[in-house]
Structure 1
Amino acid sequence: MSLPDTWADLPFFREEWPVISTRLDGEDWLPGPERVFAALELTPPAVARVVILGQDPYPTPGHANGLAFSVTPETALPRSLKNIYAEMRDDLGFAPENGDLSHWARQGVLLLNTSLSVLPGQAGVHAKWGWEKLARQAVARAQAERPLAFILWGAHAQKALTGLPRPQDLVIETAHPSPLSARRGFFGSRPFSRVNDWLAAQGEAPIDWALSETADAE
């Protein structure tokens, strides 16, 4: 597994990664070595503008693509992502055509999970391996470049980044978009327009949350 060049000097890759990679060796784990660092590869520190933190990859083979909340284009939308898209339609009037969020990542949305590996059918099985240190270190590195917008859905994400957001950062904290909690503050929170309004105030380009041709078609 090659390390993401622009992040490879983070302490995690010297201290935790050798142990984690040894434990992964020989296992049939998801999303696999080619996609494990996809979030970091698609969003270098100098590009990162928004942070969305997830928990761990989807445990169904073929679904996870290495980005938080994202799935491969041919995969049916998971329930949380359905709710994210429903909120986006209410907020902006459109949503992407499939569940692959790579186009968010390329625009500077750091879609990190707190754990970057999982075994098939065993959600959370690697949650205590030390992966969470990478999430905190990556966010701190991105903060050194510019103010960031944080979209923190649910208590897990909010706790994982405790103490990192600064006064100059935007922080949007709501319930998780899961069907179990979305009606307790996620729906109606309008995170997408709020982030774009904040980016505009920073002199930054907005995020095109849906592919332009999708928005035009609707």
Structure 2
Amino acid sequence: MNNYSSWREVIEDEAKKPYFKKVMQYVDRQRTVKNIYPLRKEMFSCFQKCPLSKVKVVIIGQDPYYGEGQAHGMSFSVKEGVKIPPSLQNIFKELKEDIGIKELPQSGNLERWARQGVLLMNTSWSVEKGKPASHSNIGWMEFTENILKVLNNLDKPLVFLLWGSHAQKVGKIITNPIHLKIETSHPSPLSAHRGFFGSKPFSKTNEFLQKNSQDEINW
């Protein structure tokens, strides 16, 4: 059991560690010569939108979108007015099949999920324009694992949706038996047909929350 009451406390603790300082210095240096996403002020927006005390579901992706104007610090989400990327289109398709919504969402902004307790995090927290996984080996994994350790230690049952091999690898940190892990392929067009489609993550999540006396997510 940990004593953290807010994400601010968690981040402040991490920020003191040498590895984190090294990662942030690297990313900041890269920003001076390359296009790095998301913007520095938006890198950790998933924590702002979903306070620690409200987390019920954790969706773990790979790294931020690498196209201009897409990534804004929440996995799979894009801002209002931005074209919905293929991975998110597939997420919405599965959502429609799973819980029977009448039409696909028109907005790719997933803040509406975050406000209900869905933490949208990636395994990497920055990326170079046009180069997927370009920052996957700079030290972000330690940060991601430390965030998951905090969540693993919570005594409230959580659901972890581990989409893709990167998410599943880091998801091994989740060992507390009160939590539910749902592991599938990544929803990208390259791999969605290998297990993501038909996995029914949204209904399974709500069934688990209901069983544990928590409000369901209005997907």
TM-score normalised to structure 1 length = 0.88
Aligned match for 1:15, one of 15, 18, 24: 18
Distance apart, 1:157 and its partner CA: 0.9
Partner of residue 51, structure 1: 58
Q: Once structures 1 and 2 are overlaid, which stretch shifts more, 127-136 or 6-15?
A: 6-15
Distance apart, 1:13 and its partner CA: 4.8
Distance apart, 1:121 and its partner CA: 1.4
Partner of residue 206, structure 2: 196
Aligned match for 1:139, one of 119, 141, 148: 148
Q: Does 1:31 align with 2:38?
A: yes
Distance 1:197 1:103 in 2: 20
Aligned match for 1:111, one of 114, 120, 130: 120
Q: Does 1:123 align with 2:132?
A: yes
Aligned match for 2:169, one of 159, 172, 194: 159
Distance apart, 1:36 and its partner CA: 0.4
Q: Does 1:79 align with 2:86?
A: yes
Q: Does 1:178 align with 2:204?
A: no
Distance apart, 1:14 and its partner CA: 2.4
- 1:12·1:134 contact (CA, 8 Å) conserved in 2? no
SS in 1 for 2:79: coil
SS in 2 for 1:172: strand
- 1:7·1:40 contact (CA, 8 Å) conserved in 2? no
Aligned partner letter, 2:164: G
- 2:153·2:176 contact (CA, 8 Å) conserved in 1? no
Aligned residues: 206
Distance apart, 1:144 and its partner CA: 2.8
TM-score normalised to structure 2 length = 0.87
Distance 2:128 2:53 in 1: 32
- 1:6·1:44 contact (CA, 8 Å) conserved in 2? no
Distance apart, 1:163 and its partner CA: 3.7
Aligned partner letter, 1:56: D
Partner of residue 76, structure 2: 69
Distance apart, 1:6 and its partner CA: 4.1
Distance 1:20 1:180 in 2: 30
Identical-residue share of aligned pairs (%): 39
Structure 1 unaligned runs (5+)? 210-218
Distance 1:12 1:162 in 2: 24
Distance 1:163 1:8 in 2: 18
